[in-house]
Amino acid sequence: MSLAEILSERLLGRKPFLQVIIDLTTLEKFGKFKGFENFIRVYNGKRGLHLVVVYLVVGREGVPWSFRVWRGKGTSSPAQLGLKQVLCLPKKLTKHFQVMVLVDTAFGSIQFIHGVRSRKYHVIARKRLS
């Protein structure tokens, strides 16, 4: 799905919602990977490549939009990486929709929430149930 296809979802009347879903996804790795040794980390008991992924959903259609690699302790946190991706959404896209950012509590830092709210976007943070 391209930017033009997402924008074609715009209907007359009230602005539809653009759901921006941010998730930390781990591609688990076992063994040695010399090309990836600077990227493979252990986080929440999982060893692998940790990606902060942004998905865009308009109506029933969704598409992975962007991702950033979390490089581990001492670098930008997953919440900081997610905020950077939200702030880089094209204005051509965000001006046509009401933007709703959906995250779990891993992204619920004060810095993240204030950064998203500074753009007048809605934020919904889900608390982990387990």
Q: Contacts by 114-123 with C-beta closer than 8 Å and gap 24+?
A: 115/83, 115/86, 115/87, 116/83, 116/86, 119/86, 119/87, 119/94, 121/20, 121/86, 121/94, 122/98
With respect to residue 65, please indicate whether it lies within any of the assigned structural domains. yes
41 in a domain, yes or no? Answer: no
What are the beta bridge partners of residue 26? 50
C-alpha span between 118 and 114 (Å, rounded): 6
Per-residue pLDDT of 55-109, as tens digits, reads 999 877 788 999 999 887 888 889 999 999 999 999 988 988 899 999 988 887 8
Number of domains in the chain: 1
Residue 45 maps to a domain: no
Range of the domain at 78: 3-22+55-126
Q: Please check whether residue 118 lies inside any domain of the structure.
A: yes
pTM for the structure as a whole:
0.80
List all residues 6 or more positions away from 79 whose beta carbon is below 8 Å from its beta carbon: 106, 107, 108, 109, 111, 112
* Model confidence pLDDT, tens digit, residues 36-46: 667 777 777 78
Q: Residue 36: inside a domain, yes or no? A: no
